[in-house]
Amino acid sequence: MAVATALSKPVCQRQAHAPDTPVRIILALLALRWLAGIAENFGIPAISEVSAIFMTGCLLFGFLQGMRLSVRSKMLVVGLLAWMFAAILSVAANGVGDVDSMALLALLALYALFANATACYISDLSALYAIQRFLRAFVLVGAALSIFQIAAGTGFVEAGDIDILRAFGSDVHPVSFAIQMVAAIVGLEIIRIKRRAPLSGSYLVLFGFGLLALYLTYARTAWVMLALSAGITVFLRTSPTRRILMVAAVALAGIALTQMSGRFSDLSSLPFFLQNFSVSDAVFDYRYVDNSVSWRIVNWSLGFQQAIEQPWLGFGAGQSATSSHFQLEMHNMFLETFFEGGIVGFLAFLIVLAGILRMHRSLPNATPADQHARLLAGGYGISLLLAVTFSTSFVDQLMSVLLYLLILGATGVPAAGNQPLAASRRPAMLLA
């Protein structure tokens, strides 16, 4: 009851370091889910699912008490509800109702509630201090777990690549954790910009721990995301001449990296694979598919051919890993939503993307600090869109999605010295 009452209180604009009670509750629920995931890695079964259900229940109860829907997040919420409706239709049409289907519905509900809560209640610098403390803890604990996993030999070993031991930090997979670490690093930089705080030694050490954790994951996706987030920000803030020089420098660096780093040696077989592969007549041939990129091309081709067999309602929510030929996710959100929910589910996902774009477009832009933070959040958003298009399905990566929504909430706070603008972010009442 206390949680619901706190989440239904109006937003209070203030500059103190202590955040409002709703912000404390939001971060406490997020921390609970994060710690539960860590505990599950140490052998406590199903605790992360229980914590996610508890988090959803608290946010739902709080919303029902206050009936507040943020103007900034309403299109995203509508899109997620449409996605849930499409998922229910696909489940009914295919006669499935397993754990995967129910899990997708629960996740979409949690994302809608969390997006609305962060947009409603993260409104001033006091909230940023609290978010900063959480992200610092996330980076330090994640780095410590990564070091421990490599030192103790308990890291992640991928089938077919037993020579590389990879850290997975506080998640269950190196790529998922690496994406979360990039989100935390970007979020910390956004908050530093919003607070107009100078670079400090402790901040650089924290940043170093985050990079170390990233290195230990061996996740190329996350490194590309971090580079894109920083690169897009710098590119858009510099002059046209420097932009041309940046593009040339990045191209040369990319060529040098692929030639000098052994992490990209497996991609040398791509030309041979493409010469012997037909998208219209896709066949998985072990002689040609020997890296993650060629595997994705085959997976996408087979997945699309299978999806068009049931184009309207798909094969059922959460069924891509069960019904696909590889029995794995599509590693492409657009294809996955089409495979699972057909055209109806795909259109709902486009509404979700439009809602996210609207949230980005509504971020403060009045001061140089606001503009800088907005570009950085946009750069991370673009990198995330590329990741869900080419690398990971993402929708079932709970902590990754919640951290992204938290970053958007933090970026929506006007920079120090520009706080009166926060009044425009007060939530609209649905019911009097």
The number of folded domains in the chain is 1
Q: How far apart are the C-alpha atoms of 308 and 143, rounded to whole Å?
A: 43
> What does pTM read for this prediction?
0.87
pLDDT at 283: 62
pLDDT at 245: 83
pLDDT at 10: 43
pLDDT at 278: 62
Q: How many CB atoms lie within 10 A of CB 85?
A: 15
pLDDT at 424: 38
327: alpha, beta or left, given left = phi > 0 and alpha = psi -120 to 50? left
pLDDT at 420: 43
Mean pLDDT by 10 residues, the chain (432 residues): 50 56 96 96 89 96 91 96 96 84 92 97 94 98 97 85 86 94 98 94 96 94 92 88 82 71 58 64 60 78 89 91 77 92 97 97 94 96 92 84 97 78 39 30
User: Sign of dihedral through CA atoms 114, 210, 232, 350?
Assistant: negative
Q: How far apart are the C-alpha atoms of 360 and 358, rounded to whole Å?
A: 5
pLDDT at 261: 60
State how far Cα 177 lies from the chain centre: 10
Containing structural domain, residue 357: 2-429
Give the chain's end-to-end CA distance (angstroms, integer).
Answer: 20
Q: How far apart are the C-alpha atoms of 105 and 408, rounded to whole Å?
A: 23
pLDDT at 393: 75
Q: Which of 50, 26, 57, 53 is nearest to 36 (CA)?
A: 50
